Structure 1
């Protein structure tokens, strides 16, 4: 078991993308995350990110950096809802590491479509 972190992890996302912003706010409402848009990154935060950081979301913790699909998986396990059990179960499936990034990329490459779907979700019905 790891020691609890003293500061909330930073969820770094493309704040020019409506779907990305919706996802980040969804996570922040259901877990403890500090939201940091690409436009608001500090030099120290930028130094921790991969060179191609604008290609996907990231989770900066005191112990490491999670990027792309791995970031979303880690965020999922930190949600304070029953959906965290789905993320934890996903981690246990054989082949998760091979499937995670292509799955992330499929959603990321179709942000416009997913953005239209979430914008039509009635309030209180997103879970």
Structure 2
């Protein structure tokens, strides 16, 4: 699952968006400037490696989000104006299996060949815990 913007989110910048071509488009639905990726892999009968696969795909998607933002930032450097501010290339992603979820933050420093990722939260669900709704009256 991928979250970003549609071109309708930028009504004042339609001419600029058209002139940029497809550099900022993330998928065939026209999502632009993506910033959040969610990847879920169900645990199969063995339950092995599903989180690893989800994490691998999740971080690949996040790297793409970061690269799209960095391309915009490079284009903005051509404009010599006080109104133009640098673009934050940070992207977020969540990798989930049937029992665990991990939140990642990805970003790029000035080195164009290096993307950094950091896991900031892990959540584990114990199969022995049963959740039920509690009514308060």
Q: Normalising to structure 2: TM-score of the pair?
A: 0.24
Report 1 or 2 for greater relative contact order, CA contacts < 8 Å, sequence distance ≥ 6: 1
Larger radius of gyration: 2
TM-score, normalization: structure 1? 0.25
